[in-house]
Structures are given as C-alpha cells and as structure tokens.
Amino acid sequence: MFIFQELHIQLKKQFNLNEPVHPVDDNVVIHTFPFESKSLKDQSSVLLNSNFDDSINSLDLFDINNNKNQYFRYSVFEPVKRQDRNRAILLLHGLNERSWEKYLSWAYVLALETGIPVILFPLANHINRSPISWSVPRQMIKVVGLREKSYGKIRNSTFVNAALSERMDLVPELFVYSGIQSVADLVTLSQQIIRGKHPLFNAGTAVDFFSYSIGAFVTEVLLLSNPFNLYDDSRAFFFCGGSTFDQMDGRSRTILDDRAFERLKTFLLQTDFSALKRKFPGFLMPVGEMIWDAFTSVISLERFRKKPVKTLQRVIQNIKAIGLKKDLVIPGEAIYKTLKIDPKSNVRVIDFDFSYSHEAPFPIANNAVSWKVDRSFKNIFNEASGYFLDRS
C-alpha cells in the first residue's frame, strides 16, 4: 500500500465534523467551526412558484426549509508547525460532491507542506449542506425511475447524480442561486478571517485558494470582482478547473445526466436571467453589480474575453492552473484557452501515465498503478505548495 492510499484510509476513518478539535497525528490538527449562511432574498419564490407533483415533493429535492444549507460546520486542517499566521488556504471542491472523503488527503498534505491552515468549506447545497436523502441510493433510485418515466431512458442517469439532475432540469435557476449563496458565504468567511474575527487567524490574514473543478469557477468570480478588496493579496492554484462554463461538459454518471446538463447549459447560455441578480443578500448589495458581472463573464469565453485586458491580467497573474489532457468534464485545453491570455500566464496541460478521470484524478482502486498515482499526487501538491510559499 502506498502513501496516498494509506493517508486516504486513515483520514476517512478519523474525520468527524462534529468534533471541534481532533489531532490527526503529530503534524496536523483538525478544527471544525459552525457557520450560518446569509439567506438570499426571496430564494424560495422560484420553488414556491414551480409546480412539482407529489412524488417529487416527497423526495426533499426542493425543500425550501433545508436548514443543513443554512447552518453547517466546516473544517480547518491546521499544521502543528505553523509557518505563517497571516495566511489561509481555502480548498474548494467540485460539482455534485456529497462527501469530503476525496479532499481530506489534499487538505492534509497542503497544510503539512505549506505550514498554512487549509479550510474545507462546502459550497451551497453540497456535501454536508445537502439533505442526507440525496446520498441514499434507495431514495435516489426513485428519482431515476421518475425521470425515466417522464422522459424515457436518459444517458448517464444514475442514483449518484439523480438529485442534482432533477433540480437542474426542473429549476436551472438554482445553479445561479447556489452560486450567489456560495460567493456570499465565502465573502463572509473571508471577512471574518481578514478582520481578525476568526480564532485561528490574525487580523490582516490573506486568503489564498486551492480550487478544483467548479470550485475554480467560483474562485474566478471572487478574484474578478474582488468584493470589498478582500482578495488584493490572494493567489489561486487551479487543478482541473478554470475554464468558462461553455467549455465544460458536465454529462457524467457522477455529476449530471445528459438531459439535465443540456437544460442547464441552454439556460445559462441562451436565457436572460439577469433578474436573479436582485437576490443578493443585503450586505453584498454594494458590490453586487461587480459580482454579477464577474459571474456572467465566466459563463462563456466570448464574454470572458470582453473583460478589459488589464483586469484579466491582474487576476490571471495571481493564478497557476494545471489541466489534465484526458479530462472530459473540464478539458485541459479549455482551461488553457481561457487563462493563457499572454506568454506570462501560468497555465499548462499535463497527462498522467495511468487511467484517470476528472472526477477521480487520483484513483485508489487499482493497486497495479498505486505507485504511479502516489507519484502524481505528490508532484501536483508539491507544486501547489511551492506556489503558495513563493511570494516573490
């Protein structure tokens, strides 16, 4: 068994969001903290005005009283030998994630190698912010059956992606709502950290990002809009993310079925959904227009390229991105095309010498290639750690 696999298994056994403090070993301590999300304006109206049949209502897919999305806990992996008390790294996950399992080893290694605390913070309606029923196969098989009954066989339809597929198919506006809520929550957390209101960080702490998949999309919105100048001194490392939405392909057995992705793509690229920008929580209204402009600009490459060159250069000079050649969801070439705006842009596409996917860049099931996975994992996280430490 190789290091990555051992670490994955160990952390999976130990991780517990309900424990306020938990030492992993002599090197890293996990802290967990409560968080209350700011409610969006009239978020429930789009659901109350939608007509769902009783079979859908009984499955909690559109529960407007989902307290788990508003009140939840997040974790911080703090290195025992902390090198910098004025930096934090936010690790942002991918789309349709229901567990932190994949990211525990990522956070541990980043914290250990940088000496900087790494925060695992869930995006809206994901992981521990989503109802447990969305992860129960018996419940979600019912959703698969209902979709099949309504539309016939749907490619890539599985119990894993059933909840998100049904939500995006029937109410694609929820992608925008969740995006706005995620941005608002990250701004709130960043303010707590930077203003010295967080017990683990000094006032003036700078917030960096390690962002994977759709997490890179959210990070681009934050860096482009830079609300309240929170991210003046931030840098970001993107892994398997960073392209505009129109170059993504979310059709996957673990993300979205084909019908739901096409519905969402059509909504975002061909629909005027500008009325939704009025849904920002009150504290974000002063910077709401900037955030909305940033959000809509990363929907398509054409809109992204219309941003002022100086704005793009300001943001991209603080981003390092690595895409994977065989990634079918967010292709490496799409990341390169988006971020390589001049010769100085720090973006490249690589390939691993084993079978991988966007959803599982470091597979642990095949022992025959474990040493190769271990090597590639180390290479990626050594590079990310070096990037965060090199502030020259």
pLDDT at residue 327 in the model: 99
Nearest to 227 by CA among 180, 168, 284: 284
- Contact indicator for 26, 40 with CB cutoff of 8 Å: no
Contacts of 138 (CB under 8 A, 6+ apart): none
Look at residue 42 and tell me whether its pLDDT is greater than 60: no
Q: How confident is the model at residue 165 (pLDDT cuts 50, 70, 90)?
A: very high
- Kindly write down the DSSP assignment for every residue of 244-304, as one continuous string: -GGG---BSTTSB-HHHHHHHHHHHHHS--GGGGGGS-GGGGGGHHHHHHHHHHTT-HHHH
pLDDT at residue 300 in the model: 98
Look at residue 388 and tell me whether its pLDDT is greater than 50: yes
pTM of the model: 0.95
Condensed to tens digits (0 to 9), the pLDDT of residues 216-244 reads: 999 999 999 999 999 999 999 999 999 99
* Helix (H) or strand (E) segment spanning residue 305: helix 301-305
Backbone angles phi, psi at 189, to 5 degrees: -65, -40
Q: How confident is the model at residue 84 (pLDDT cuts 50, 70, 90)?
A: confident
- Kindly write down the DSSP assignment for every residue of 23-84, as one continuous string: E-SSSEEEEEEEEEPPPPTTTTHHHHTS---HHHHTTTTT-TT-HHHHEEEEEEEEESS-S-
Condensed to tens digits (0 to 9), the pLDDT of residues 19-41 reads: 999 999 999 999 999 999 986 65
Q: What is the rounded distance in angstroms from the CA atom of residue 191 to the CA atom of residue 207?
A: 10
Q: Percent of the chain beyond pLDDT 90? A: 83
Q: How confident is the model at residue 65 (pLDDT cuts 50, 70, 90)?
A: low
pLDDT at residue 1 in the model: 45
Nearest 10 degrees: Cα torsion 130, 131, 134, 140 = -160
Look at residue 52 and tell me whether its pLDDT is greater than 90: no
Residue 106 token pair: 């990522």
Taking residue 18's Cβ as centre, other Cβ atoms within 10 Å add up to 7
Q: What is the rounded distance in angstroms from the CA atom of residue 373 to the CA atom of residue 5?
A: 9
Would you say domain 3-389 falls under CATH 3.50.40.10?
no
Look at residue 66 and tell me whether its pLDDT is greater than 80: no
Look at residue 392 and tell me whether its pLDDT is greater than 60: no
Nearest to 105 by CA among 371, 353, 381: 381
Condensed to tens digits (0 to 9), the pLDDT of residues 239-250 reads: 999 999 999 999
pLDDT at residue 198 in the model: 98
